[in-house]
Amino acid sequence: MKRKTNKKNTYRVLYYWLTGVIVILSLLFFFRTSLITYYYLIKNKWAGANFENENLEKNIKISEIQKIQAVFTKYKNNVFGLDISQHQGKIIWDSIQFIDKEIPISFVFVRATRGAFTQDASFKKNWRNLAKKNIIKGAYHYYDVNRNSTIQAENFIKTVTLEKGDLPPVLDVEELPKDQSLELLKTGLINWLTIIEKNYKVKPIIYSNDAYFIHHISDMDLTDYMIWTANYNPIESPLHQKWSFWQFTEKGIVKGITENYVDINVFNGNIEDLKKLTL
Protein backbone atom coordinates (compact mmCIF):
# COMPACT_ATOMS: atom_id res chain seq x y z
CA MET A 1 0.00 0.00 0.00
CA LYS A 2 2.82 2.40 0.81
CA ARG A 3 4.53 1.89 -2.58
CA LYS A 4 1.27 2.49 -4.43
CA THR A 5 0.70 5.72 -2.48
CA ASN A 6 4.21 6.98 -3.28
CA LYS A 7 3.69 6.17 -6.97
CA LYS A 8 0.37 8.02 -6.97
CA ASN A 9 2.01 11.04 -5.34
CA THR A 10 4.77 10.95 -7.94
CA TYR A 11 2.25 10.87 -10.78
CA ARG A 12 0.27 13.67 -9.16
CA VAL A 13 3.36 15.91 -8.82
CA LEU A 14 4.34 15.15 -12.40
CA TYR A 15 0.80 15.92 -13.60
CA TYR A 16 0.70 19.30 -11.82
CA TRP A 17 4.20 20.18 -13.01
CA LEU A 18 3.39 19.42 -16.66
CA THR A 19 0.08 21.27 -16.37
CA GLY A 20 1.89 24.32 -15.01
CA VAL A 21 4.45 24.25 -17.84
CA ILE A 22 1.68 23.98 -20.45
CA VAL A 23 -0.21 26.91 -18.91
CA ILE A 24 2.92 29.09 -18.84
CA LEU A 25 3.82 28.23 -22.44
CA SER A 26 0.26 28.93 -23.55
CA LEU A 27 0.28 32.34 -21.88
CA LEU A 28 3.64 33.20 -23.44
CA PHE A 29 2.37 32.15 -26.86
CA PHE A 30 -0.82 34.16 -26.46
CA PHE A 31 0.91 37.33 -25.35
CA ARG A 32 4.05 37.01 -27.46
CA THR A 33 3.07 39.72 -29.97
CA SER A 34 2.17 42.26 -27.31
CA LEU A 35 5.31 41.54 -25.28
CA ILE A 36 7.63 41.74 -28.27
CA THR A 37 5.95 44.88 -29.57
CA TYR A 38 6.13 46.55 -26.16
CA TYR A 39 9.83 45.70 -25.94
CA TYR A 40 10.43 47.03 -29.44
CA LEU A 41 8.64 50.29 -28.62
CA ILE A 42 10.67 50.88 -25.48
CA LYS A 43 13.97 49.95 -27.08
CA ASN A 44 13.45 52.11 -30.16
CA LYS A 45 11.45 54.91 -28.50
CA TRP A 46 9.12 54.82 -31.51
CA ALA A 47 7.58 58.09 -32.61
CA GLY A 48 8.25 59.90 -29.35
CA ALA A 49 6.26 57.11 -27.73
CA ASN A 50 3.39 58.42 -25.67
CA PHE A 51 2.88 56.07 -22.74
CA GLU A 52 -0.09 58.06 -21.50
CA ASN A 53 -2.14 55.53 -23.47
CA GLU A 54 -0.49 52.11 -23.35
CA ASN A 55 -3.17 50.46 -25.49
CA LEU A 56 -1.94 52.30 -28.58
CA GLU A 57 1.62 51.09 -28.13
CA LYS A 58 0.69 47.52 -27.26
CA ASN A 59 -1.70 47.01 -30.17
CA ILE A 60 0.44 48.31 -33.00
CA LYS A 61 2.17 45.56 -34.97
CA ILE A 62 5.93 45.36 -35.37
CA SER A 63 5.53 45.20 -39.15
CA GLU A 64 3.70 48.55 -39.03
CA ILE A 65 6.43 50.11 -36.92
CA GLN A 66 9.11 48.84 -39.30
CA LYS A 67 7.21 50.19 -42.31
CA ILE A 68 6.88 53.63 -40.73
CA GLN A 69 10.55 53.70 -39.79
CA ALA A 70 11.47 52.71 -43.36
CA VAL A 71 9.55 55.72 -44.73
CA PHE A 72 11.20 58.02 -42.17
CA THR A 73 14.59 56.76 -43.32
CA LYS A 74 13.93 56.95 -47.07
CA TYR A 75 12.44 60.46 -46.86
CA LYS A 76 14.74 61.85 -44.20
CA ASN A 77 15.29 65.02 -46.26
CA ASN A 78 11.54 65.62 -46.65
CA VAL A 79 9.06 67.05 -44.15
CA PHE A 80 6.31 65.18 -42.31
CA GLY A 81 2.92 66.11 -40.96
CA LEU A 82 -0.41 64.91 -39.62
CA ASP A 83 -4.07 65.10 -40.49
CA ILE A 84 -6.56 65.28 -37.65
CA SER A 85 -10.26 65.46 -36.90
CA GLN A 86 -12.60 65.08 -33.94
CA HIS A 87 -11.67 61.38 -33.91
CA GLN A 88 -8.35 62.24 -32.25
CA GLY A 89 -10.26 63.44 -29.21
CA LYS A 90 -8.77 65.94 -26.81
CA ILE A 91 -5.31 67.01 -27.96
CA ILE A 92 -2.67 68.27 -25.54
CA TRP A 93 -1.35 71.04 -27.76
CA ASP A 94 1.61 71.95 -25.55
CA SER A 95 3.01 68.48 -26.32
CA ILE A 96 2.46 68.61 -30.09
CA GLN A 97 5.87 69.09 -31.62
CA PHE A 98 7.40 65.89 -32.97
CA ILE A 99 6.27 62.71 -34.70
CA ASP A 100 9.57 61.29 -33.60
CA LYS A 101 11.92 62.99 -31.18
CA GLU A 102 13.92 64.05 -34.23
CA ILE A 103 11.12 64.59 -36.78
CA PRO A 104 9.31 67.93 -36.44
CA ILE A 105 5.63 68.18 -37.28
CA SER A 106 5.86 70.60 -40.20
CA PHE A 107 2.22 70.68 -41.26
CA VAL A 108 -1.22 69.57 -40.11
CA PHE A 109 -4.38 69.15 -42.17
CA VAL A 110 -7.57 69.60 -40.14
CA ARG A 111 -10.99 68.28 -41.10
CA ALA A 112 -13.31 71.26 -41.25
CA THR A 113 -16.51 69.94 -42.78
CA ARG A 114 -18.30 66.80 -43.89
CA GLY A 115 -21.04 66.64 -46.48
CA ALA A 116 -23.59 69.39 -46.95
CA PHE A 117 -24.26 70.60 -43.42
CA THR A 118 -21.80 69.08 -40.93
CA GLN A 119 -18.85 70.85 -39.31
CA ASP A 120 -16.17 68.85 -37.52
CA ALA A 121 -16.77 69.17 -33.78
CA SER A 122 -13.09 69.89 -33.07
CA PHE A 123 -12.28 72.08 -36.07
CA LYS A 124 -12.45 75.50 -34.43
CA LYS A 125 -10.41 74.38 -31.45
CA ASN A 126 -7.82 72.58 -33.58
CA TRP A 127 -7.57 75.46 -36.06
CA ARG A 128 -7.15 78.03 -33.29
CA ASN A 129 -4.45 76.01 -31.51
CA LEU A 130 -2.50 75.39 -34.70
CA ALA A 131 -2.44 79.12 -35.39
CA LYS A 132 -0.57 79.59 -32.10
CA LYS A 133 2.14 77.10 -33.08
CA ASN A 134 4.80 77.33 -35.77
CA ILE A 135 3.13 74.63 -37.84
CA ILE A 136 1.74 75.11 -41.36
CA LYS A 137 -1.97 74.32 -41.37
CA GLY A 138 -4.56 73.33 -43.95
CA ALA A 139 -8.27 72.47 -43.89
CA TYR A 140 -10.09 69.65 -45.66
CA HIS A 141 -13.64 68.72 -46.58
CA TYR A 142 -14.86 65.11 -46.44
CA TYR A 143 -17.01 64.76 -49.54
CA ASP A 144 -20.41 63.07 -49.34
CA VAL A 145 -20.62 61.25 -52.68
CA ASN A 146 -24.44 61.31 -52.62
CA ARG A 147 -24.99 65.00 -51.79
CA ASN A 148 -25.11 68.18 -53.85
CA SER A 149 -21.60 69.46 -54.55
CA THR A 150 -22.52 73.17 -54.52
CA ILE A 151 -24.06 72.95 -51.05
CA GLN A 152 -21.00 71.05 -49.85
CA ALA A 153 -18.69 73.76 -51.20
CA GLU A 154 -20.78 76.42 -49.45
CA ASN A 155 -20.53 74.46 -46.20
CA PHE A 156 -16.73 74.55 -46.41
CA ILE A 157 -16.57 78.23 -47.40
CA LYS A 158 -18.73 79.43 -44.51
CA THR A 159 -16.67 77.34 -42.07
CA VAL A 160 -13.08 77.99 -43.18
CA THR A 161 -11.23 81.28 -43.43
CA LEU A 162 -7.77 80.83 -44.90
CA GLU A 163 -4.90 83.23 -44.24
CA LYS A 164 -1.48 83.89 -45.69
CA GLY A 165 0.76 80.92 -44.90
CA ASP A 166 -2.05 78.34 -44.96
CA LEU A 167 -2.13 75.42 -47.37
CA PRO A 168 -4.76 75.29 -50.14
CA PRO A 169 -8.13 73.73 -49.25
CA VAL A 170 -8.47 69.98 -49.66
CA LEU A 171 -11.21 67.84 -51.19
CA ASP A 172 -11.27 64.40 -49.56
CA VAL A 173 -13.17 61.78 -51.59
CA GLU A 174 -13.04 58.11 -50.60
CA GLU A 175 -16.39 56.42 -51.26
CA LEU A 176 -18.42 55.35 -54.28
CA PRO A 177 -21.91 56.78 -54.83
CA LYS A 178 -25.10 54.80 -54.24
CA ASP A 179 -27.66 57.42 -55.26
CA GLN A 180 -26.01 58.65 -58.45
CA SER A 181 -23.72 57.42 -61.21
CA LEU A 182 -19.94 57.62 -61.09
CA GLU A 183 -20.03 60.08 -63.99
CA LEU A 184 -22.31 62.42 -62.07
CA LEU A 185 -20.00 62.12 -59.07
CA LYS A 186 -17.05 63.24 -61.19
CA THR A 187 -19.05 66.23 -62.44
CA GLY A 188 -19.82 67.12 -58.83
CA LEU A 189 -16.18 66.85 -57.80
CA ILE A 190 -15.11 69.24 -60.55
CA ASN A 191 -17.90 71.61 -59.54
CA TRP A 192 -16.71 71.60 -55.89
CA LEU A 193 -13.11 72.23 -56.96
CA THR A 194 -14.16 75.07 -59.27
CA ILE A 195 -16.30 76.84 -56.65
CA ILE A 196 -13.57 76.55 -54.01
CA GLU A 197 -10.88 77.84 -56.38
CA LYS A 198 -13.02 80.83 -57.30
CA ASN A 199 -13.60 81.68 -53.65
CA TYR A 200 -10.08 81.19 -52.28
CA LYS A 201 -8.18 82.15 -55.46
CA VAL A 202 -6.07 78.98 -55.35
CA LYS A 203 -6.40 75.52 -56.82
CA PRO A 204 -7.40 72.98 -54.14
CA ILE A 205 -5.59 69.77 -53.27
CA ILE A 206 -7.47 66.53 -53.97
CA TYR A 207 -7.12 63.59 -51.59
CA SER A 208 -7.97 59.94 -52.09
CA ASN A 209 -6.26 56.57 -51.95
CA ASP A 210 -4.15 55.10 -54.74
CA ALA A 211 -6.82 52.57 -55.71
CA TYR A 212 -9.51 55.26 -56.01
CA PHE A 213 -7.31 57.44 -58.21
CA ILE A 214 -6.39 54.49 -60.43
CA HIS A 215 -9.69 52.62 -60.71
CA HIS A 216 -12.45 55.19 -60.32
CA ILE A 217 -11.35 58.70 -61.30
CA SER A 218 -8.34 58.07 -63.54
CA ASP A 219 -10.12 59.71 -66.49
CA MET A 220 -10.60 63.01 -64.62
CA ASP A 221 -8.24 65.77 -65.72
CA LEU A 222 -6.45 66.58 -62.48
CA THR A 223 -3.27 67.80 -64.13
CA ASP A 224 -3.37 71.21 -62.46
CA TYR A 225 -4.20 69.92 -58.98
CA MET A 226 -1.87 68.79 -56.24
CA ILE A 227 -2.42 65.16 -55.32
CA TRP A 228 -2.54 63.86 -51.76
CA THR A 229 -2.72 60.09 -51.90
CA ALA A 230 -3.07 57.37 -49.29
CA ASN A 231 -1.39 53.98 -49.42
CA TYR A 232 -0.69 52.02 -46.23
CA ASN A 233 1.21 49.16 -47.85
CA PRO A 234 4.91 48.62 -47.14
CA ILE A 235 6.08 50.35 -50.33
CA GLU A 236 8.84 52.85 -51.08
CA SER A 237 6.53 55.40 -52.73
CA PRO A 238 2.86 55.73 -53.72
CA LEU A 239 1.52 54.26 -56.95
CA HIS A 240 0.28 57.68 -58.06
CA GLN A 241 3.08 59.19 -60.13
CA LYS A 242 2.23 62.83 -59.38
CA TRP A 243 1.93 62.99 -55.62
CA SER A 244 2.60 65.99 -53.42
CA PHE A 245 1.55 64.39 -50.12
CA TRP A 246 1.55 60.72 -49.15
CA GLN A 247 -0.47 59.44 -46.21
CA PHE A 248 1.49 56.27 -45.50
CA THR A 249 0.02 55.13 -42.20
CA GLU A 250 -3.09 55.54 -40.06
CA LYS A 251 -1.34 54.11 -37.01
CA GLY A 252 0.80 57.03 -35.95
CA ILE A 253 1.48 57.57 -32.24
CA VAL A 254 2.22 61.18 -31.35
CA LYS A 255 2.85 62.64 -27.93
CA GLY A 256 -0.10 64.87 -27.10
CA ILE A 257 -2.64 62.71 -28.95
CA THR A 258 -3.63 60.02 -26.48
CA GLU A 259 -7.13 58.85 -27.40
CA ASN A 260 -6.50 57.46 -30.87
CA TYR A 261 -3.96 56.83 -33.57
CA VAL A 262 -3.25 59.60 -36.07
CA ASP A 263 -2.48 59.62 -39.80
CA ILE A 264 1.09 60.47 -40.76
CA ASN A 265 1.98 62.08 -44.09
CA VAL A 266 5.17 62.92 -45.94
CA PHE A 267 5.45 65.89 -48.30
CA ASN A 268 7.29 65.35 -51.57
CA GLY A 269 9.84 68.07 -50.89
CA ASN A 270 11.56 70.06 -48.15
CA ILE A 271 10.20 72.79 -45.90
CA GLU A 272 11.00 75.54 -48.39
CA ASP A 273 9.12 73.68 -51.12
CA LEU A 274 6.15 73.32 -48.77
CA LYS A 275 6.09 77.03 -47.96
CA LYS A 276 5.92 77.83 -51.67
CA LEU A 277 2.58 76.00 -51.84
CA THR A 278 0.96 78.13 -49.17
CA LEU A 279 -1.28 81.12 -49.72
pLDDT confidence tier of residue 110, bands split at 50, 70 and 90: very high
The pLDDT assigned to 134 comes to 87
Region 167-173 average pLDDT = 98
- Per-residue pLDDT of 152-166, as tens digits, reads 999 999 999 999 999
Please report the DSSP string for the chain in residue order. Answer: -HHHHHHHHHHHHHHHHHHHHHHHHHHHHHHHHHHHHHHHHHHHTGGG--TTSHHHHHHS-HHHHHHHHHHHHHTTTSEEEEEE-GGG-SB-GGGTTEEETTEEEEEEEEEEEETTTEE-TTHHHHHHHHHHTT-EEEEEEE--TTS-HHHHHHHHHHH----TTPPPPEEE-----SSS-HHHHHHHHHHHHHHHHHHHTSPPEEEEEHHHHHHTSTTS--TTSEEEEE--SS-SS-S-SS-SEEEEEEEE--TTB-SS-EEEEEESS-HHHHHHH--
Region 77-88 average pLDDT = 98
For the chain, percent of residues with pLDDT exceeding 90: 75
74 or 25: which leads in pLDDT: 74
- Per-residue pLDDT of 3-23, as tens digits, reads 444 555 565 656 666 666 665
Region 150-179 average pLDDT = 98
The pLDDT assigned to 4 comes to 47
Residue 89 scores a pLDDT above 70: yes
Residue 50 scores a pLDDT above 50: no
- Per-residue pLDDT of 198-255, as tens digits, reads 999 999 999 999 999 999 999 999 999 999 999 999 999 999 999 999 999 999 999 9
pLDDT confidence tier of residue 60, bands split at 50, 70 and 90: confident
Region 117-131 average pLDDT = 97
The pLDDT assigned to 101 comes to 77
Residue 35 scores a pLDDT above 50: no
What is the chain's mean pLDDT, rounded? 87
Least confident of 58-67, 91-100, 146-155, 225-234: 58-67
